[in-house]
Amino acid sequence: MSVLLNMVSGPESARGAAADPAPAAIAAWEQFVARRDAQTARMALGVCDGCDGCGLRCMDGFTVSRAEREAVEAYLAAQAPEEVQRVADQEKTVPWPGAEDTGATVTFCRYRDTQNRRCSIYPVRPTVCRLFGHTPWLPCPIEAVPQVPDGSPELWRDYLAFERRTWSEWEHAEGDAELTQEIP
The reported pLDDT for the residue numbered 141 is 77
For residue 35, CA distances in Å to 17, 75, 90, 140, 166 come to 31, 21, 34, 21, 23
Q: Which of 34-48, 96-110, 165-179 has the highest mean pLDDT?
A: 96-110
Sign of CA dihedral 99, 93, 117, 32: negative
The reported pLDDT for the residue numbered 91 is 95
Say whether 16 sits in a helix, a strand or coil.
Answer: coil
Between helix 22-41 and helix 152-159 the angle, nearest 10°, is 150
The reported pLDDT for the residue numbered 80 is 97
100 Cβ contact partners less than 8 Å away, ≥ 6 residues apart: none
The domain locations on the chain are: 21-43+52-183
Rounded to two decimals, the pTM is: 0.75
Q: Would you place residue 30 in the very low, low, confident or very high pLDDT band (cuts 50, 70, 90)?
A: very high
Question: For all residues of the chain together, what is the average pLDDT?
Answer: 79
Predicted confidence (pLDDT) at residue 84 exceeds the cutoff of 90: yes
93 - beta bridge partners?
A: 107
In 3D space, the residue among 69, 47, 70, 22 whose CA is nearest the CA of residue 141 turns out to be 47
Cβ contacts of 92-99, under 8 Å, gap ≥ 24: 92/60
Query: b vs e for 137-160, b when ≥16 Cβ sit within 10 Å of the residue's Cβ?
Result: ebebbeeebeebbeebeebbebbe
